[in-house]
Chain A
């Protein structure tokens, strides 16, 4: 998430993901919040998520062989 993204923005994106059946693992650092998405993420479009307010970057974890 972006540094300036507030809790509301976090909740918004999380609600979106949870609605789609994903689990969330949040790491809250001093400066930044990372939201881990757990589930079958192949069905997610990165661009769609990046369009959410407050989202800085979407990083897909490499698929295992």
Chain B
């Protein structure tokens, strides 16, 4: 590559005589052309398969050529003497010579302190010029003493200067800087610097997620990514006073293999980053779903059976990140060890034997004689058990020992009584159980010990609902249970906390949590597949028949509780009894409730909502009562109805004439009377009785703690009423969580809706509620058409949506679960007015909606409707069912 800007300047301008400013326009045009030409060429090289390091070096060389040429032209122009006065220095990533296609450039103008005005002038002109080229440039103008002072106070500056590289200008000045950095900055407090770096690392982990297995990782800052490699190198540079990674081999810090692995990692990550930048046409370091798909294709991955190309790519990516993380931890551990002197004196006294040939030293578990592992491989798992018991970390050398000896975990090991006893002890232990499992997973132990777990290792799930890979989600679920044990949610989730503490076989619950998703990714129902796999695990681990069956039960049913709670009518006692029967024992129910909680909570930060919590708890409590009562029979409802009516009557008799109360009570449905406590029904009656000529009574009660408002709508029945209500709600930007619909025999309707804002907050603004009421009145009186209101709200979003993996809409019909209703499940992507489209379609089909439940998973809606036909019957004719299904799918798709 010929990197000469002069080639792009027109002949006339090459001569002297005119100042730079006079030639600026021509320079700018030339520079633009230069950049355009070489960028194109480099991109072509990259696309044709040049490796990451090559491309990065070429981009750096191109940038160097451009910047130095411009700098010389400018300093000639302003008559800056070449010797000893000013140098142009690249710092940060540019200093390391690591430019990706759209990386920022960090420049430093280092000068002697004389003539600062002229130096500023050069700096400004160069910068404006580079900015005009749309390059992202950061800059500073400093003297030597500025550098020393700032580096002393600011780690960021110090780190950036660590990578300083002279571009052009005074060499003497630059040499002085290097010397000063070593003597004044680095020599002092090198341990402190290393600690600062470690602290930075920790903060970065917090910000970008402390897991290698994040679904949309940041290629620069994410764990196991570029910054991990940088940090390792910075720390090594400080500790061993070297400039280039290769010198670390000479000093015996790194082996040739390790250096090779380091360079290969850089190469790999850079190639991805290059492609990311080229794809976006700007600086972008986030491996989004969209980018992952393109990059997988770019790297030549292909779909294989059920496994998508992108899933294979990401699996490899995570394996790689895992290796980078280990490399950088080993490096940092080497550099942050105390000086030998202190170690030898203290070491003797503090190395404490803890059995099995293990010792604890400085809060870490070490195995000084590595041959003890080969002698008895079970010690591999004992290392984890022992470290957990002692509450100490596993030393980095011991980690390497484990990684290197994984092949000792064979079928004999997996069936060994001792190993399994040790594993159960780990799971049963009060403290550090999730940390221990994470270690086991990270070091590759868990995959060897439970090969079924390897099926979900680094497994990506391409939807927006899950933000972690399946294995990470699983480990987080373990942590959620551990949090309950530690009492972290004692105040907010007292029931779950109590239940968690009541579980005797904690290990069994955790084993179920570990295995609940192992069936994922093989097609078919993953719970069912997982249950089969669990059977194998149970047999291999030598579990008792009872424990093995419970394990299988939990894995098989791990979706059931959530499904029923969120999608079935919890006032349907027959259904509750059927569910309780499926649970068989209350111990099963308890464990399933805990597993369900952990599973939902570990999906992502906002997936567990107050609303879901309420539904799950309601189902748990109802099923528990049935199980404790022992007889799976319905209480004679006639007696209960009479009892409730009497109680309601007593509550109201002082406020209303007796006959009025009796008539109104008579018009309530049995279902209504059996669904609520008498106090609540008395409240309903008050509303019903106040319905006069106004034709509409609207009552709000804000349930601030639960995060929604109960909206009671009372009016006279008209066809399609519920669809009109949902339409008005949609038009007012209100989100419906659930709805109970009560149609009385006297033509009055009492609908209760749980409503919040789409962001999940309680809507407290009175104006919004007033507007809702006005709209509702107008729609009910026929003055305004609800479809017009909804259409007005339906404007295209100004925010361009990020591409998200989509699942086609689904409609499922269940005629078994309820004895009175046909149940329709609808899964679709959320959008404003979706509920209105669905309910209006149901109305058009002549269906009456009895119960409706709406649950939104981030952007996916799962709605369920209990419907009857106009004669109050379930719909059983297959042709009609098919018509319903088709009509609903059309309604969902029509404006998406």
Contacts and interface: CB of A to CB of B under 8 A. Distances in A.
A40 B371 CA distance: 21
A31 interface: no
Contact of A21 (B347, B369, B371): B347
B348 A24 contact: no
A24 B368 CA distance: 5
B340 interface: yes
Interface string A21-65: 111111010000000000110010000000000000000000000
A2 interface: no
Nearest to A11: B369
A21 B370 contact: no
A20 B371 contact: no
Q: Is the interface of A mostly helix, strand, loop or mixed?
A: mixed
Contacts of A28: 371
B370 A40 contact: no
A18 B366 CA distance: 11
Contacts of A18: 351, 359, 368-369
Contact of A40 (B340, B351, B366, B369): B340
A26 B344 contact: no
Contacts, number: 30
B344 A43 contact: yes
Contacts of B368: 18, 22-24
B147 to A, nearest CB: 34
A20 B348 contact: yes
Nearest to B349: A21
A24 B359 contact: no
Given A18-B359, A40-B340, A26 B369 contact: yes
B344 A39 contact: yes
Nearest to B340: A40
A3 to B, nearest CB: 18
B348 A26 contact: no
Nearest to B348: A21
Contact of B369 (A14, A20, A43): A14
A28 B366 CA distance: 21
Interface residues of A, number: 13
B370 A25 contact: yes
Interface residues of B, number: 13
B276 to A, nearest CB: 43
Nearest to A40: B344
A25 B368 CA distance: 8
Contacts of B343: 40
User: B344, B366, B369: which has the most chain A beta carbons within 10 Å?
Assistant: B369
Nearest to A38: B368
Nearest to B361: A21
A21 B344 CA distance: 8
Contacts of A21: 344, 347-348, 351
B768 to A, nearest CB: 70
A1 to B, nearest CB: 13
A22 B562 CA distance: 56
Interface in B326-351: 340, 343-344, 347-348, 351
Contact of A24 (B340, B347, B351, B369): B369
Contacts of B347: 21, 39
A39 to B, nearest CB: 7
Nearest to A7: B375
Nearest to B369: A24
Contacts of A20: 348
Contacts of A25: 370
B816 to A, nearest CB: 67
A43 to B, nearest CB: 7
Contact of B370 (A22, A26, A39): A26
B371 to A, nearest CB: 4
Contacts of A22: 368
A39 B344 CA distance: 8
Interface in B684-724: none
Given A18-B359, A43-B344, A26 B371 contact: yes
Contacts of B359: 18
Nearest to B344: A40
Contacts of B351: 18, 21
Interface in B291-349: 340, 343-344, 347-348
B625 to A, nearest CB: 61
A22 B344 CA distance: 9
Contacts of B370: 24-26
Contacts of A26: 369-371
Contacts of A24: 368-371
Contacts of A14: 369
A40 B366 CA distance: 17
B212 to A, nearest CB: 29
A23 B348 CA distance: 12
A40 B343 CA distance: 9
Contacts of B340: 40
A25 B401 CA distance: 12
Nearest to A18: B368
Contacts of A39: 344, 347
A58 to B, nearest CB: 17
A14 B344 CA distance: 18
A10 to B, nearest CB: 9
Contacts of B369: 14, 18, 23-24, 26
Nearest to B374: A28
A12 to B, nearest CB: 12
A18 B354 CA distance: 13
A18 B371 CA distance: 13
A13 to B, nearest CB: 10
Nearest to B343: A40
Nearest to A64: B252
A55 to B, nearest CB: 16
A64 B315 CA distance: 44
A19 to B, nearest CB: 8
A25 to B, nearest CB: 7
A39 B345 CA distance: 11
B285 to A, nearest CB: 40
A24 B366 CA distance: 11
B247 to A, nearest CB: 16
A24 B343 CA distance: 16
Interface string B355-375: 000010000001011110000
Nearest to A27: B371
B196 to A, nearest CB: 29
A18 to B, nearest CB: 5
Nearest to B346: A21
B375 to A, nearest CB: 9
15 contacts: A14-B369, A18-B351, A18-B369, A21-B344, A22-B368, A23-B368, A23-B397, A24-B368, A24-B369, A24-B370, A26-B370, A28-B371, A39-B344, A39-B347, A40-B340
Given A21-B351, A40-B340, A40-B343, 16 more contacts: A14-B369, A18-B359, A18-B369, A20-B348, A21-B344, A21-B347, A23-B369, A23-B397, A24-B368, A24-B369, A24-B370, A24-B371, A26-B369, A26-B370, A39-B347, A43-B344
Interface of B: 340, 343-344, 347-348, 351, 359, 366, 368-371, 397
Interface of A: 14, 18, 20-26, 28, 39-40, 43
